[in-house]
Amino acid sequence: MNSFMQVDDLDRRLLRLTQSDPTASVPALAKDARMSVAVARRKLDRLEAAGVLKGRQAVIDWAALGYAVEVSLRITIDKAQPQGFDQFLAAARDIPEVIEIQTFLGRVDLRLSVLARDMAHYQELYRDRILTLPHIADIEALMHVASVKSDEGLPI
Amino acid sequence: MIDLDQTDRALLKALVNDAGVSTAALGKRLGLSQPATWRRIRRLEQAGVITGYRAVFDLEKLGFGVSVFLGVKLARKGRVSLEDFERAVTAIPEVQSVQHVLGLFDYRLRIVARDLADFERVLRRRIMTLPGVGDVEANVLLSEERLPGPIG
């Protein structure tokens, strides 16, 4: 299917409903969107086939698994090394406690989200795994205190 | 705290990757019956390990071409100003997530916009007018990877 599809108002309505209840059945979505089940199913299939709706994911609370500490590490890469970025990214992916890697255009080059069981575990990770990553020019830490809003909802 | 065995970990990993598959198909892959799979998922949900489910969209295909992370420092502190700021910032539709952090900034916001001009509008009209807002630093997201984490 064509990778660029036209998303109409009814599609948006279905996507909004899917966003607010990702595990809702197609008949339930169809009822709320005031359309027939067949139409809703066809529209959802089309949105999924076109990659607009990529899927549904379980959200994990890491604290419930014993990871009480989450730290954002904002990192600047040493640009004198031509392969610096790629080598850094490859090494960062090998650390199991790293759950997110983002790259930026801005004051910092990238950010890692790192989990730890407690501060002692974080200190160990920071010294043994993070500071040993290649080509770090500068590093800054933001300690996660609370999620005020985390639904990642879109203004569809 | 809940203890997870190998099967729970595999199940969790599969659900983080794709929660759209049926429990029957999931069970088959892990060598479990459909009811056993369902029971394990229920247990993970009840223990608070799985807090919910999220629909994943292709932002660009929906017309959101720009994601920006903002570090925000409050100009004045105190319980009332934190609450005022939090109440106002969470009401902005373009703000996808708000994290209270310790360090160089007080809050980290994730913002979606159609393009840079749209982002500028959100920044000027919505963010810079928030109660108590001080220094703001913007970093435009270029790429993002989510990793499974220490599930095993």
Domain boundaries in chain B? 6-46, 60-140
Task: Examine residue A4 and state whether it is found in any structural domain, yes or no.
Answer: no
pLDDT at residue A2 in the model: 45
pLDDT at residue A79 in the model: 85
Instruction: Tell me the mean pLDDT in the region B124-145.
Output: 94
A44 and A71, same domain (yes or no): no
Contact A145 B100 (CB under 8 A): yes
pLDDT at residue A149 in the model: 87
Longest dimension (CA), chain A: 60
Distant-in-sequence, close-in-space partners of B15: CB < 8 Å, separation ≥ 6: A57, A58, B26, B41, B50
B48 and chain A in contact, CB less than 8 A: yes
Longest dimension (CA), chain B: 57
Task: Examine residue A156 and state whether it is found in any structural domain, yes or no.
Answer: no
Task: Measure CB to CB from residue B55 to each of A56, A108, A141 and give the nearest one.
Answer: A56
In whole angstroms, what is the distance from residue B97 CA to residue A150 CA? 5
In the structure, what pLDDT confidence band is assigned to residue A4 with cuts at 50, 70 and 90? low
A101 and A75, same domain (yes or no): yes
What residues of chain A, 58 to 77, have a C-beta less than 8 Å from chain B?
A: 58-62, 64-67, 72
Task: Examine residue A153 and state whether it is found in any structural domain, yes or no.
Answer: no
Task: Measure CB to CB from residue B142 to each of A18, A22, A105 and give the nearest one.
Answer: A105
pLDDT at residue B152 in the model: 66
- CA A116 vs. chain centroid, Å, equals 18
Please tell me the class of the B60-140 domain.
Answer: alpha beta
A114 and A80, same domain (yes or no): yes
DSSP state of A79: T
Task: Examine residue A152 and state whether it is found in any structural domain, yes or no.
Answer: no
A87 and A124, same domain (yes or no): yes
Please give the residue range of the domain that contains residue A77.
62-143
Which residue bears the tokens 């089940």?
Answer: A37
Contact A102 B150 (CB under 8 A): no
Chain A residue numbers with beta carbons less than 8 Å from the beta carbon of B65 are none
Contact B55 A156 (CB under 8 A): no
Task: Examine residue A97 and state whether it is found in any structural domain, yes or no.
Answer: yes
Task: Examine residue A155 and state whether it is found in any structural domain, yes or no.
Answer: no
In whole angstroms, what is the distance from residue A119 CA to residue A124 CA? 9
From the CA of A72, how many Å to the nearest CA of chain B?
9
A83 and A36, same domain (yes or no): no
Q: Locate A101 and state its tokens.
A: 């890697």
Please determine, looking at this structure, whether the domain spanning B6-46 carries the CATH number 1.20.1300.10.
Answer: no
pLDDT at residue B82 in the model: 87
Chain B residue numbers with beta carbons less than 8 Å from the beta carbon of A58 are 12, 15-16, 19, 50, 52-53
Chain B residue numbers with beta carbons less than 8 Å from the beta carbon of A56 are 18-20, 53-56
CATH code of the domain covering residue A27? 1.10.10
In the structure, what pLDDT confidence band is assigned to residue A1 with cuts at 50, 70 and 90? very low
Task: Evaluate if residue B87 carries a pLDDT over 70.
Answer: yes
CATH code of the domain covering residue A107? 3.30.70.920
pLDDT at residue B141 in the model: 96
Q: What pTM did the predictor assign?
A: 0.88
A127 and A68, same domain (yes or no): yes
Which of residues A44 and B148 earns the better pLDDT score?
A: A44
Nearest CA among B12, A146, A124 for reference residue B3 = B12
Percent of residues, chain B, with pLDDT higher than 90: 81
Q: How many domains does chain A have?
A: 2
Task: Examine residue A154 and state whether it is found in any structural domain, yes or no.
Answer: no
Instruction: Tell me the mean pLDDT in the region B70-77.
Output: 90
Task: Examine residue A148 and state whether it is found in any structural domain, yes or no.
Answer: no
